[in-house]
Structure 1
Amino acid sequence: MAASAVIQQLRGRVEGPVTGPGDARYDEARSVHNAMIDRTPAAVVRCTGAGDVRAVVDAARESGLELAVRGGGHSVPGFGTCDNGLVADLSGMRDVRVDPATRTARVEGGATWGDFNDAGYAYGLATTGGIISTTGVGGLTLGGGIGYLSRSMGLSCDSLISAEVVTADGRILVASEQENEDLFWAVRGGGGNFGVVTSFEFRLGPVKDVYGGPLLYEFEDTASVLRFFRDFITTAPRELGAFPGLQIAPPLPFIPEERQGRVHAIVVTCWTGPMEEGEQAVRPFRDAGRVVAEHLGPMPYPMLNSAFDDLVPPGLQHYWKANFVTELTDAAIAAHVEHGPGLPAVNSTVHIYPINGACHDVAPDATAFAYRDATFATVIAGMWPDAADNEASVDWVRDYYRATAPHSEGGGYINFMADDDQGRIRDNYRENYERLARIKQSYDPDNLFHLNQNIKP
């Protein structure tokens, strides 16, 4: 069926707007967070609910057109769009409903962590989200979900109670420990391979105000800071959600002007225990190196979760690489010290997220997320504003990755991976891959959902 006929048919079947080439808002509708991605879908359908999503899935299956699914739109490889195909855009589906009595929340598939955190904060409740509040709840959770609260609450997917999923054959299923258990297992870390999740039900924990913020150190102390963190975090209280990294100091009031624009080691802290213990909990980081700036104190959890949003606006060029790390060796630290000074822009960063604590409480085969023995998830997040810098900046990310990969595990966190990482898919899932492939065969035998880090049926 011709794309024009599919579009006309969709306009009669969905409640949300269907935007195609020539429509006034087409360029706005087709844009995604990564400006390196410039694709021209046949139509973008801004879905209003599961019924609209099913109509788009049915249209793609019946017509043979490509299908992309977009939640928050943050996919670095641009999986939320495609050329000459259909985009199921969930960004209008952002309702969050919190039940404080049961400490649960029902969240639509297009909601962001900012939406989620604001709704939960009113009741002093939260679950593990990301580091940037504009990130979509859906994409982050389907890939596992690493964030400030991982050490105390586990991954985002570990708090998932159920998911409403539109499958490739157009069914709307509930996946949970009681229904469609194999699908529920797969969506907890297996990405968007198995269907479109139109709503999530999460278990929440008590988190309202936290004590935390960033500390910046002399870059020359990077090795000392990383060695300290490596040792300290293994026995630190689970309420401490700190992570180290490398960052060009942005022009912020708490950073001395002479430090702005220079590369520093950083540690970002988040203490969710008793507020009166917060200062003492983060105090050891002050002795890890020479602190040149800090911004620590009590704050609402949503404020910390949105603190770095301005460094990651829409329209940057993005290229990222990622690895899981069991042991942060001295050789790995030396590679970080060698390549860190090449950060392409103030937007770029390198973070080393701890995924021990509660993440290790879950068995490697209990969910699709297999790296339950890893201690860290490292991301080399190349982000810069000028497309003229693409070649040099991508080379920096790749060189950095090649230097750290020999000191890392074979797989990486799929939410941090690039479009050229498909060859690593088996490594990402280890012994869970064959089960995932069987579930893929059951729910999507023709691989309709292939614009992702793809698990082939």
Structure 2
Amino acid sequence: MTTTQARQDTLGEATLGELAEGLRGELVRPTDPSYDEARSIWNAAHDKRPALIVRCRGVADVIRAVEFARSEGLTLAVRGGGHSIPGFSTTDGGLVIDLSPMNAVRIDPDRRRIVAQGGCTWGDVDAEAQAFGLAVTGGLVSTTGVAGFTLGGGIGWLVRRAGLACDNLVGADVVTADGRYLHTSEDENPELLWALRGGGGNFGVVTSFEFKAYEVGPTVFAGLVFYPGDKAADVLRGFGAAAASAPDELSLAINLTTAPPLPFLPEEVHGKPIVAVLGMWSGQAEDGDAATRPFRELAPVVADLFGPMPYNAMQTLLDPLFPRGMRNYFRSAFFNDLGPATVDALVSSHSQVPNGVSELHVHHLGGAMGRVPADATAFGTRDREYILNVVARTPDADGFETAVQWARAAGAALGPDAASYVNFTGETNEDIVRASYPPATYQRLVAVKDTYDPTNLFRLNQNIPPSAGSDRRQG
């Protein structure tokens, strides 16, 4: 008998019937026709079978699900967009709180505020906010969930102008481990708000996020330019030199990748190593050509696709490259500059890429993100100019472990001082989590964990366990 079946039998039909009757949403069980669809997540590397899935339609459903998981001793997973790289949005034999039906967005254009429910994706938010010419730092793939992205930090095309997504989180509604429904802001439960700004999903289920928004679009100057793969070192060095004087309105990244068979690229480069510089200028669109020009002349150009485009077009530009159902593993490392040793390490890792869909992303940071005081949020690393995100992917199980080993080696090649970013860490590891935060920040997060989740009910995340003196019966 499987773990899922055993848990179903232990719970009993009367208990499950009572839970189902108390929900406005849907209780999905392994015997239901919709179960396989309901249990699937974006990252196919994790194929798990929860005992129960609660598809929540409102806060009351979330409270009931949390209370049920706690009372029955069930492992609890919380799913927003379902993009969790380590697979935290599902579990074997436990209960999944699926927030995806809770995807309403409310815009206050006068106060420049965006309120998004916990099941929203960035596509949901951008569609509503751009109707009013507003935006906040969102995911580079529009199907990414607002919740996990924000709670771990949130790096996107507005990061240098507006800071991280979590920097712009001004309020949230949270269901805690004991079933309480709390609002947090600078004036109400402020320590919880501090922890939500980068401390991950450790402290409860966030059912609603309120963001400060910015005037952006509807047209931005954005796109990508491709360079030959054998010019990677020149492009990286030139990028570093140009980035030193980049204005805050300009956010850019380098992809060391493999040329896809797309019509805007010459056939002779298809399937070969290639370098893409991607970016967005969010200032006045007519100034974008001049602002991006230094990054579009770093080497002989294969194709230059920069130009004016709708903000939402840039926000969905990478969607086709990150479809649901592939196996994914990410590794990350913050670093200071594109000096000779770093360039050599990146070029070497690119030369060893295991397949045509795995790649290295180097994202330029700084700007508004770097000016936020270190203790203003729980986000751990603001003093580095760059982050490397190593993307290891395969269409199926074949070759996946090889890709994972490549990703680990590529991240480690930048050295032991290159701290990780919790959103781009493909596995749970207490040492990696600890190293992602300064010691004082980590201890402060433990204190918040002790207050709001002393039994570690919310442990399927980049976990910050409660202190040894807390009640850890669920841990």
Is this a same-fold pair by TM over 0.5?
yes
* Aligned position for 1:421: 429
* Aligned position for 1:184: 193
C-alpha RMSD over aligned residues: 1.3
Question: Are the equivalent residues in 2 in contact too, given 1:255–1:294 (CA < 8 A)?
Answer: no
Distance 1:113 1:164 in 2: 18
* Aligned position for 1:156: 165
Q: Give the Å deviation of 1:443.
A: 0.3
Secondary structure of the structure 1 residue equivalent to 2:398? helix
* Aligned position for 1:267: 277
**Cα separation, partners in 2 of 1:355 and 1:166, compared to 1, 3 Å:** same
Residue 271 of structure 2 aligns with an amino acid whose one-letter code is: G
Residue 341 of structure 1 aligns with an amino acid whose one-letter code is: S
Q: What CA deviation, in whole Å up to 9, does each residue of 1:171-219 have, x standing for no partner?
A: 1101110100010000000000000100001111011111010111111
Distance 2:59 2:261 in 1: 43
Distance 1:440 1:236 in 2: 39
Q: What CA deviation, in whole Å up to 9, does each residue of 1:61-114 have, x standing for no partner?
A: 111100000000000110000011100001111111111111111101010011
Q: What CA deviation, in whole Å up to 9, does each residue of 1:380-437 have, x standing for no partner?
A: 011120211112212211222222234x52x211110011433211110113000000
Distance 1:376 1:7 in 2: 49
Secondary structure of the structure 1 residue equivalent to 2:389? strand
Asked if 1:434 is matched to 2:443, the reply is yes
Distance 2:235 2:112 in 1: 37
Q: Give the Å deviation of 1:262.
A: 1.4
Question: Are the equivalent residues in 2 in contact too, given 1:311–1:346 (CA < 8 A)?
Answer: no
Distance 1:30 1:452 in 2: 18
Secondary structure of the structure 2 residue equivalent to 1:359? helix
Q: What CA deviation, in whole Å up to 9, does each residue of 1:27-84 have, x standing for no partner?
A: 1011111111011101111101111111111011111100000000000110000011
Q: What CA deviation, in whole Å up to 9, does each residue of 1:333-378 have, x standing for no partner?
A: 1011011133334432211112200001111111000212111121
* Aligned position for 2:471: none
* Aligned position for 1:285: 295
Alignment of 1:349-368 (within 5 A): 349-368=359-378
Question: Are the equivalent residues in 1 in contact too, given 2:358–2:403 (CA < 8 A)?
Answer: no
Alignment of 1:321-360 (within 5 A): 321-360=331-370
Alignment of 1:127-142 (within 5 A): 127-142=136-151
Asked if 1:224 is matched to 2:234, the reply is yes
Tell me the TM-score normalised to structure 1 length: 0.97
| Identical-residue share of aligned pairs (%) | 46
**Cα separation, partners in 2 of 1:161 and 1:420, compared to 1, 3 Å:** closer
Residue ranges of structure 1 left out of the alignment (5+ in a row): none
**Cα separation, partners in 2 of 1:12 and 1:237, compared to 1, 3 Å:** same
Residue 309 of structure 2 aligns with an amino acid whose one-letter code is: M
Alignment partner of 1:120 out of 129, 137, 142: 129
- Number of residue pairs the alignment of both structures matches: 455
Residue ranges of structure 2 left out of the alignment (5+ in a row): 1-6, 467-475
Question: Are the equivalent residues in 2 in contact too, given 1:213–1:296 (CA < 8 A)?
Answer: yes
Distance 1:316 1:421 in 2: 23
Question: Are the equivalent residues in 1 in contact too, given 2:253–2:361 (CA < 8 A)?
Answer: yes
Asked if 1:88 is matched to 2:74, the reply is no
Distance 1:113 1:72 in 2: 9
Secondary structure of the structure 2 residue equivalent to 1:242? strand
Tell me the TM-score normalised to structure 2 length: 0.93
Distance 1:107 1:345 in 2: 37
Question: Are the equivalent residues in 2 in contact too, given 1:113–1:134 (CA < 8 A)?
Answer: yes
Distance 1:154 1:203 in 2: 11
Secondary structure of the structure 1 residue equivalent to 2:384? coil
Of 15-24 and 391-400, deviating more is: 391-400
Distance 1:122 1:262 in 2: 40
Secondary structure of the structure 2 residue equivalent to 1:429? coil
Asked if 1:97 is matched to 2:106, the reply is yes
Residue 169 of structure 2 aligns with an amino acid whose one-letter code is: L
**Cα separation, partners in 2 of 1:420 and 1:436, compared to 1, 3 Å:** closer
